[in-house]
C-alpha cells in the first residue's frame, strides 16, 4: 500500500553551498526538491558587500543544471566593518534577504565574525529600520563556557540584550539545538523565528560519541541531550509559525571530516524531505509538514510560498539514498539517519 502526501514546494532557510567544484556537486541535491534557499555567506573570503553577494549569486546560477529551477536568497556576513548603507542598498535592490551574525570563531569560516557587538550597533539599527532580518549563529565562544551550554548562554548574554536594545529588529535563531532556545522563541510574541535542522531532529550527542566517534554526525552547534532533541521535535511538529526548516546542510569532503581535527557539518540536502516525512509521521504530525517546510519560512521573510509542489510517497521497501556525493574536491558523505526510511520525495 502506497501513501502519498503533496505539499507546496519547500524552501531551505539555512544552506551552505560553498563555491567552485563543491558548489557544482552539491547544488543539484538541493535544487531537486527546494525552490529557494537562504545561502550562507561564510566563504573564504566571506561575502561582506552587496557586490560580493551579487557575484556569488551569479556563480550559483551558473552552476545550476539545465532544466532545474532554484532561487538563491543571498545574505551578507556581518563584520565589525560592515557599512550600514551598503547593507541598505543591497536590501533595497532585492538581492539580499538577511544579514548573518557569526560570533568570531563559532563555526566553520567564522574568523571574520563579531567580537565587539557595540561596533555593529549602527548596522543592526539600520536593519531594524528597513525590516531586514538578522540570522544568528547562536553560540558564545568564551573558552570558559562548556560547548553544550554555549547556545543557552548566547540567548542570555547576546541575543536578548540585542533585541531589547534594537526594537523592531527581526531575528532568526538559526539551527536551534536546545529546549532553552525553543522555549525562548515560544515566549516572544513578535519579530523572532527559529530554524530547525533535519539532523537535530534525529540525533543527540550519544549518536556522535557512543561506540566510537562518528565524525559525520559532528556539527556546530553540536547535538545535545535527548531532552533537547525531543523539545525540537515538539516545536517543529507543533504547527507554530515561528519554527521553520533550515537544514544547515554543510558539505565537507571525507578527508576533512575524518581527520584529527574534523570539520563540523552534516550534509543532508539529498535526503532531508524523506527524513522529515519519517519524523513527522512518527510524531503523528504529517499534516504539519507543509507548514514547517513550505509555509512558515516565507511568511517570516515576507515572501510568497514557492511555486510548484513536492509529492512524498511511502512504499513498502526502504529508499536507497546514495552514501556519497562525488565532487571535484573529493567525496562528501550523505547523512545516514541510522534507520530505514520509506518515504520518497519526487
**Mind telling me the catalytic residues?**
248
Angle (nearest 5°) at CA 294 between 292 and 298? 100
Name 77's bridge partners.
Answer: 100
Look at strands 309-314 and 3-8 and give their pairing. antiparallel
Closest CA to 180 of 153, 147, 145, 202: 153
C-alpha–C-alpha distance, residues 151 and 282, integer Å: 27
C-alpha–C-alpha distance, residues 241 and 81, integer Å: 34
C-alpha–C-alpha distance, residues 151 and 231, integer Å: 15
Collapsed DSSP state (helix, strand, coil) of residue 135: strand
| CB within 8 Å of 98: residues ≥ 6 apart | 38, 73, 75, 76, 132, 133, 134, 135, 172, 301
Collapsed DSSP state (helix, strand, coil) of residue 161: helix
C-alpha–C-alpha distance, residues 71 and 31, integer Å: 9
Chain centroid offset of residue 132 CA: 18
Closest CA to 237 of 296, 180, 178: 296
Amino acid at each position: 500500500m502506497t501513501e502519498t502526501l503533496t505539499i507546496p514546494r519547500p524552501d531551505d532557510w539555512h544552506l551552505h553551498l560553498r563555491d567552485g567544484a563543491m558548489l557544482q556537486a552539491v547544488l543539484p541535491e538541493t535544487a531537486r526538491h527546494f525552490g529557494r534557499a537562504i545561502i550562507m555567506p561564510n566563504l573564504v573570503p566571506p561575502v561582506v558587500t552587496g557586490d560580493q553577494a551579487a557575484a556569488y549569486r551569479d556563480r550559483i546560477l551558473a552552476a545550476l543544471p539545465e532544466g532545474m529551477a532554484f532561487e538563491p536568497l543571498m545574505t551578507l556576513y556581518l563584520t565589525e566593518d560592515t557599512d550600514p548603507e551598503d547593507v541598505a542598498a543591497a536590501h533595497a535592490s532585492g538581492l539580499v534577504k538577511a544579514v548573518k551574525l557569526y560570533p568570531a570563531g563559532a563555526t566553520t569560516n567564522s574568523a571574520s565574525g563579531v567580537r565587539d557587538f557595540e561596533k555593529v550597533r549602527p548596522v543592526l539599527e539600520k536593519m531594524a529600520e528597513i525590516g531586514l532580518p538578522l540570522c544568528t549563529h547562536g553560540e558564545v565562544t568564551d573558552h570558559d563556557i562548556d560547548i553544550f551550554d554555549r547556545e543557552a548562554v548566547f540567548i542570555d548574554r547576546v541575543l536578548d540584550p540585542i533585541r531589547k536594545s534594537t526594537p523592531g529588529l527581526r531575528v532568526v535563531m538559526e539551527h536551534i539545538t536546545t529546549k532553552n532556545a525553543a522555549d525562548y522563541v515560544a515566549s516572544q510574541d513578535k519579530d523572532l523565528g527559529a530554524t530547525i535542522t533535519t539532523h537535530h531532529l534525529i540525533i543527540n550527542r550519544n549518536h556522535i560519541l557512543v561506540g566510537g566517534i562518528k565524525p559525520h554526525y559532528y556539527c556546530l552547534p553540536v547535538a545535545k541531550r535527548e531532552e533537547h532533541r525531543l523539545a525540537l521535535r515538539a516545536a517543529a511538529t507543533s504547527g507554530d509559525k515561528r519554527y521553520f526548516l533550515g537544514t544547515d546542510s554543510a558539505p565537507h569532503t571525507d578527508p576533512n571530516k575524518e581527520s584529527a581535527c574534523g570539520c563540523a557539518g552534516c550534509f543532508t540536502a539529498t535526503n532531508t524531505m524523506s527524513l522529515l516525512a519519517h519524523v513527522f509521521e512518527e510524531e503523528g504530525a504529517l499534516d504539519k509538514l507543509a507548514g514547517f517546510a513550505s509555509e512558515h519560512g516565507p511568511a517570516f521573510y515576507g515572501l510568497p510560498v514557492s511555486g510548484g509542489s513536492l509529492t512524498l510517497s511511502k512504499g513498502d521497501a526502504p529508499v536507497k539514498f546514495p552514501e556519497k556525493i562525488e565532487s571535484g574536491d573529493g567525496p562528501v558523505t550523505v547523512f545516514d539517519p541510522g534507520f530505514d526510511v520509506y518515504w520518497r520525495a519526487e
